[in-house]
Amino acid sequence: MCGIVGFIGDQPAAPVVLRAISRLEYRGYDSAGMVSVSNGRIYFQKDVGSIADVQRKHKLDRLPGEIALAHVRWATHGRVNRVNAHPHFDCRKQIAVVHNGIIENYQELRAELEGRHKFVSEADTEVLCHLMEDYIEESGSLEEALLRAMDRLKGSYAIAMVSSREPEKIVATAKDCPLIVGLNGNSHFVASDTFSFLDQTNEVVFLEEGEVASLTKGGVSFLNRHGEEIAKEGQKVDSKWEEATKEGYDSFMLKEITEEPQAILRALMQDRGLITELAREISRARQVVITGCGSSRHAALLGSYLLSKLGGKLCHVLTASEFHYFTDSMAKDTLVIAVSQSGETADVIDGVKRAKARGVRVFSIVNVVGSLLARVSDKVIYINCGPEICVAATKSFIGQVVIFYLLAFALMGKLEEGIRKLELVPRQIQENFEQIDGKLKELAQRTKNENNFFYIARGLNLAIAAEGALKLKEISYIHAECMPAGELKHGTLALIEEGTPIVAICARDDTFYETLNSVEEIKARGGYVIGICAENNDSYDEWIRIPEVQEIFYPLVAIMPLHLLAHHVAVARGKDPDRPRHLAKSVTVK
């Protein structure tokens, strides 16, 4: 949430920065802004709306100069309005700051500074601008002033700034938020995500906690937290530039859902030795804790079922935002598996750091190469599904799930056999998609005005039902709730009325008849049952076919219909599935 890009080089900076920040729209789209420095003067534009909206209105790419910063905002402190958009300034508009994260003690700092400084916004970031204004008078340089200001800040931040007092540089720092420097001859980038500039360079330096980078045309230098100069070598990130375009699809979400069969094959491209080694660690560990948020937590949940059912290993799933309440009881020989598409989710990073502080080994399942989570983990498995742009996770979810299948097969000592079986699934998903998509669109039209949906399943498919409910609520704004089918009669059944839609995943496995019993209980109370099943049944009001597969693979074939249903309902309600309200991808605040 919130994206930053900075560029300095031998060419007009604004068009370069605009291109780069546009790729970070997934990090925030409530407002955007850009600032440049030319001939010792600061120029800026900012406004409400996405980066494309602000560009249309203010022609950001025409800002002069060879140094510029840009920001896309996901509001934390202060309403969505022009004043709260970034950049923010000191009183004399000599220092311009863009920031991702939260300055937790901003109220105290603001109270301290307010008499002497004029605050114009509600944003926490503004306290940093005024602190800088004080310290720059006493310090010799922007860097020194920033280091002093950092001593006063609590919270998490990635910060980049320019100043008319030192118009030849960008100064940047980060703590618990990603910030990456890109090196390209005489041109340098600083950004929240390498993806923004990967078409220009793949030579990067990751800023570690509290380090300060100074970018000038002559080069980039680094200071540690104590202001001492440090050498940091650039490293090549091993991911290819893939321009993420909609390729004719109406939304990134639809494109990414249709890539799900491919995502399975890409996730299968693993170093077998690494998978076997990690399975061995799972087997040896006294306790295994799997953690993640949102869709990644659902993948973790399915992972726990797979590791138990196939691998005979009982694992605990902890929602990452609750992780630290359990850290004290973690023994040293616990293994933590952290799951995250972005590798940046603040709650996941926090949990992992707490676990590591107790000497616990951590391995992670990540999509974004070189992300913070990948760097702090002892071992990392990449799911290789390529850039996922839509805020709602889809193809990354299936990629994460595939890794758990691999680990479970490896635990059984049947990795190769498992891979051979998994390789057959994508074609079945693809063929089924072509058969059911039209029906899902009709169903979306029929149900688009509902206020509530319920999702039920048992066993392995419970996590898929949870994923379906999350997807529906976050992009269509219809309340959706998932529960184990057996739990219905312990309370929720009271909410079933004539016509209430219930999505029931009725896998043809050992849960089939029991799930069908729950379906009957719903029917008896007037519920409208949407059966996700390999064959039709009189109890379903609507049947959404899934292919017949070996029992353990039903979760894989049930995901896509549920993602599609959520997408089609959102579209039928006139909502933009790529930009769910109030949300952003990469949740870098706790």
Binding footprint of ligand F6R on the chain (CB under 6 A): 293-296, 340-342, 345, 348, 392-393, 470-471, 474, 586-587
C-alpha span between 534 and 236 (Å, rounded):
46
**Shorter beta-carbon distance to ligand F6R: residue 90 or 193:** 193
**Shorter beta-carbon distance to ligand F6R: residue 426 or 468:** 468
C-alpha span between 86 and 96 (Å, rounded):
9
Retrieve residue 462's tokens.
């419970």
Q: How far is the CB of 338 from ligand F6R (least distance, A)?
A: 9
What is the bridge-based pairing of β-strands 155-163 and 235-236?
Answer: unpaired
Catalytic residue (choose from 93, 506, 585, 590): 585
Rg over CA atoms, the chain: 25
- Measured from each CB, the residue nearest to ligand F6R is 294
How far apart, in Å, are the Cα atoms of 342 and each of 231, 364, 371, 529, 587? 28, 11, 7, 35, 9
Q: How far is the CB of 391 from ligand F6R (least distance, A)?
A: 6
**Shorter beta-carbon distance to ligand F6R: residue 346 or 410:** 346
Catalytic residue (choose from 2, 129, 315, 390): 2
How far apart, in Å, are the Cα atoms of 9 and each of 12, 172, 202, 237? 8, 16, 16, 21
**Shorter beta-carbon distance to ligand F6R: residue 183 or 566:** 566
What is the bridge-based pairing of β-strands 452-457 and 501-505?
Answer: parallel
Q: How far is the CB of 340 from ligand F6R (least distance, A)?
A: 3
**Shorter beta-carbon distance to ligand F6R: residue 321 or 515:** 321
- Other CB atoms within 10 Å distance of the CB of residue 306: 24
585 is known as an active-site residue: yes
Q: How far is the CB of 414 from ligand F6R (least distance, A)?
A: 28
Q: How far is the CB of 474 from ligand F6R (least distance, A)?
A: 6
- Phi, psi dihedral angles at 240 (to 5 degrees): -85, 150
Beta-bridge partners for 102: 156
Q: How far is the CB of 512 from ligand F6R (least distance, A)?
A: 28
**What is the Cβ-side half-sphere exposure of residue 407, based on CA atoms within 13 angstroms?**
33
Q: How far is the CB of 242 from ligand F6R (least distance, A)?
A: 18
**Shorter beta-carbon distance to ligand F6R: residue 156 or 345:** 345
Q: Which residues of 108-140 are buried (b: 16+ CB within 10 A; e: fewer)?
A: ebbeebeeebeeebebbbbbbbbbbbbbbeebe
- End-to-end alpha carbon distance in the chain: 11
H or E element that contains 2 = none
- Other CB atoms within 10 Å distance of the CB of residue 210: 16
**Shorter beta-carbon distance to ligand F6R: residue 278 or 293:** 293
The residue to which tokens 């955007």 are assigned: 32
154 is known as an active-site residue: no
Q: Catalytic positions, please?
A: 2, 585
